[in-house]
Structure formats: structure tokens, C-alpha cells
């Protein structure tokens, strides 16, 4: 994932050690600057690509998410928390977070979550995403049950996408450029009849669209 030169990442939390760890991961990812934030009021001085919130020591997480969402509706928020309860994670995503990771997540998983969220999709346990997609689909015309026809390359891209690989990682594995991957993903979205790569992954699993 390429980060614009002027884009920063923000971190919010109260535990000094965890903040240092998050800052190190985000700095290594390639952001121009990683800034510790106390709240939404600091947003006006920088252009943030993503904000990572350490929820472990907070009793006002949902108020904070609402404040960030009000101040900058399109801002990408990732929550790092202790809870693995699916209902809690679903509530966090419903409150406006684009991703959720537990404190046991390794650096590689954090980097993958950043790739996915910055690509415009959501990162959370697959069961949570499936439940959210099922709810959002209520009242909407169902996806066509007809089996879409994929090219060999599209099947390769789909297999890697469902495995959680970012566009950059897919490009490296298939030895093609990232723009070509994005074009393949766009065609996959249209063929399956969904709006984003999260929905594409869930549909691929539910409808057995993955290549053998």
C-alpha cells in the first residue's frame, strides 16, 4: 500500500508501552508521521489516513468513535482491544470503526489490516463481517444466484483476496502491478454483484466460488 507523502497516522490510548508499540508499527508501515492524539480536536492540523485506537484502558470507546465520526465522517478508524466477543466487535464496527484487532494480533496481522482498511474495506473476524453483510442486505435485491464466469487470473486474484491478501501483496505474489490487481478486483465485484471486497470474500465463501 502506497502512502501519500503528507499523510499521517494517529494513535489514541493511555498505556505508554502499547502506544510505543503501535507507533513503531505504523512508522515502519510508511506513514509520513505518527501522532499521538488525545481526541478529535487534534485532527484539524494534519491529514490522517488512519487512526488506531487502543480501547483496552477506555471506558468511553463508543463516545470517542462517535466524536471522530462526527468530526471526520470518512476517517478510517481501527480499534485494538482486549475483547474477542463477536457482539462487542460488531458493535464497534457498527459505531464507525473500519477495523478491529485484538491485543494478541501480531505485527503482520496489523499490517494486513492496514492494507485492507486503506484499500477501502473492513477488517474484522469473518463471522462479524458476515453478520453485518446479512443485515445490510435485508430489503435489498438478492445477489444473482447464477454462477459467474471467471478468467484464470481472476480466480487467482479471488483466492488470494479471500485469504486476506492486500492488493499490493496479490501483485507481488502474481508478479503483476497493483493497478492490474485493482482492475481484476473491480471486474470480480461486478461479476459477483457486490460493492466491496469484504462482501466479495463472504459471497465467494458462501457460494463456493473459490477455485479448487
pLDDT, residue 177, reads 92
- Do 198 and 124 reside in the same domain of the chain? no
CATH code of 127's domain: 3.40.50.2300
134: pLDDT confidence band, cut at 50, 70 and 90? low
46 has pLDDT over 80: no
Distances (CA, A) of 41 to 26, 46, 54, 86: 21, 11, 17, 30
Q: Which domain holds residue 200?
A: 141-206
| 131 & 31 share domain | yes
Q: Where are the alpha helices (DSSP H) in the chain?
A: 16-29, 61-71, 86-94, 107-118, 126-136, 152-162, 167-174, 178-192, 197-206
Handedness of CA 22, 24, 27, 30 (dihedral sign): negative
Return mean pLDDT, the chain.
82
- For residues 175 and 70, membership in a common domain is answered with no
Do residues 24 and 63 share a domain? yes
Confidence of residue 136 (pLDDT cuts 50, 70, 90): low
Verify that 112 and 189 share a domain, yes or no: no
**What pLDDT, on a 0 to 100 scale, did the predictor assign at position 207?**
74
Question: So what's the pLDDT on residue 15?
Answer: 86
Q: Is the pLDDT of residue 5 over 90?
A: no
The larger pLDDT score, comparing residue 134 to residue 24, is at: 24
pLDDT at 186 over 60: yes
Model confidence at 120, pLDDT cuts 50, 70, 90, reads confident
End residue of a domain, out of 90, 118, 135: 135
| Residues 125 and 28 both lie in one domain | yes
Query: Could you give the CA distance from residue 67 to residue 73 in angstroms, rounded to a whole number?
Result: 9
Tens of pLDDT along 170-184? 999 999 999 999 999
Average pLDDT of span 139-167: 76
Task: Identify which of 17-21, 41-45, 136-140 has the greatest average pLDDT.
Answer: 17-21
pLDDT of the residue at 150 = 92
pLDDT at 141: 43
- Clarify whether residues 110 and 21 are in a common domain: yes
CATH of the domain at 162: 1.10.10.10
Q: What is the pLDDT of residues 72-115, one digit of tens each?
A: 888 899 999 998 888 888 888 888 898 999 988 888 889 888 98
Number of domains in the chain: 2
42 pLDDT higher than 50: yes
Do 148 and 59 fall into the same domain? Answer: no
| Calpha distance 74→186 (Å, rounded) | 21
Please choose, from the candidates 48, 50, 56, the residue with its C-alpha nearest in 3D space to the C-alpha of residue 16.
Answer: 56
Q: CA torsion, points 155, 160, 166, 171, in degrees to nearest 10?
A: -60
- How is residue 32 annotated by DSSP? S
3-state helix, strand, coil in the chain (%, to 5): 50, 15, 35
Residues 107 and 20 in one domain: yes
| One domain for residues 48 and 146 | no
Amino acid at each position: 500500500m502506497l502512502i501519500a507523502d503528507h499523510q499521517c497516522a494517529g494513535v489514541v490510548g493511555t498505556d505508554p508501552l502499547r502506544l510505543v508499540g503501535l507507533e513503531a508499527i505504523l512508522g515502519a508501515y510508511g506513514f509520513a508521521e505518527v501522532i499521538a492524539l488525545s481526541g478529535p480536536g487534534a485532527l484539524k492540523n494534519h491529514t490522517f489516513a488512519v487512526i488506531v485506537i487502543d480501547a483496552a484502558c477506555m471506558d468511553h470507546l463508543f463516545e470517542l468513535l462517535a466524536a471522530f465520526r462526527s468530526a471526520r465522517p470518512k476517517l478510517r478508524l481501527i480499534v485494538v482491544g482486549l475483547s474477542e466477543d463477536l457482539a462487542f466487535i460488531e458493535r464497534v464496527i457498527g459505531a464507525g470503526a473500519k477495523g478491529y484487532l485484538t491485543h494478541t494480533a501480531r505485527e503482520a496481522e496489523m499490517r494486513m489490516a492496514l492494507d485492507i482498511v486503506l484499500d477501502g474495506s473492513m477488517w474484522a473476524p469473518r463471522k462479524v463481517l458476515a453478520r453485518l453483510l446479512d443485515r445490510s442486505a435485508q430489503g435489498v435485491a438478492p445477489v444473482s444466484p447464477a454462477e459467474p464466469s471467471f478468467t484464470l487470473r481472476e480466480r487467482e486474484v479471488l483466492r488470494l483476496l479471500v485469504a486476506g491478501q492486500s492488493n499490493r501483496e496479490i501483485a507481488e505474489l502474481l508478479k503483476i502491478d497493483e493497478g492490474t490487481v485493482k482492475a481484476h478486483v473491480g471486474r470480480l465485484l461486478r461479476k459477483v454483484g457486490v460493492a466491496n471486497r469484504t462482501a466479495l470474500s463472504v459471497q465467494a465463501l458462501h457460494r463456493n466460488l473459490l477455485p479448487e
